[in-house]
Amino acid sequence: MTVLVETIKEVREYVRNWRKEGKKVGFVPTMGAFHAGHLSLMAQARKDCGAVIVSIFVNPLQFAAGEDYDRYPRQLPRDLKMAEAEKADIVFSPSVAEMYPKGFATHVIQDKNGLPSKLCGQFRPDHFTGVMTVVAKLFNIVRPDLAYFGQKDYQQFLIIRRMATDLNMDVETRLMPTVREDDGLAMSSRNIYLGPKQRKDATGLHRALKRAEEMVNSGESSAATVVGEIRRVINRVKGARIDYIAIVNAETLEPVKEIKGKTLVALAVRIGKARLIDNVLV
């Protein structure tokens, strides 16, 4: 049975006991509103580890003024049942006061011209500082052996992996494939913001990325040509507003002119109230 835990002290107690039993601890940090993508991370953690912790915390530090912090979906009873079906041992769901008590003053940043400044960082300038701060706290609370992230949030994964390396955190970060709906749309808790027509239109993002993959697989190496084709496909979607279409080095996120070696094709598009991100590695 999955246990709901709301305090840092309690989580640490569970982890201490598991360590005494020689169990490896797997960790899946989330903001809740689970979908099959989250469940796939839990399933992998369960497969790899003797104990599994899933956190649910809608982190105020990673939302800017005017973003969707207040309306972000919160579905704890439903999420608990889903975590239980994946045999998670603990769901850690702290309050904001538990994570950021009065006087909290420490934030985690990376080089201002580094990974957080690329892609989504141009449109959400303080977002990744909020992400790094909360994940650093969660890693210190849980002390996991393995932590699992989805490829849809590829930039976030690179930033967290860099942070864990730079700060000598004894945790291995694992990247798992993006889980998609039957029509190709990347699963996201924010898909709930899409109306029926917008939901159908949103499949254009995956169509555009599939087209990019086909072009690269057929020998096209000009990043500008591939970006032009992605833009053409997305421009057919009525009401779609492009934040960015980028073709970048998969390790540094620096733009490339020529596609060679491991390359990330990434985009962020706004449809209605939803800001959707997706990517493929080519």
Active-site residue flag, 38:
yes
Contact predicate 15/25, CB 8 Å: yes
Q: What is the mean pLDDT of the chain?
A: 97
- pLDDT < 50: residue spans in the chain: none
What tokens were used for 193? Answer: 């913001």
Summarised one tens digit per residue, pLDDT across range 173-182 is: 999 999 999 9
Q: What is the pLDDT of residue 150?
A: 98
CA distance 72 to 59: 10
Among the options 35, 38, 127, 206, which is catalytic? Answer: 38
pTM (2 d.p.): 0.97
CA distance 237 to 271: 9
120: number of Cβ within 10 Å: 20
Summarised one tens digit per residue, pLDDT across range 222-241 is: 999 999 999 999 999 988 99
Domains of the chain: 3-176 (3.40.50.620), 189-281 (3.30.1300.10)
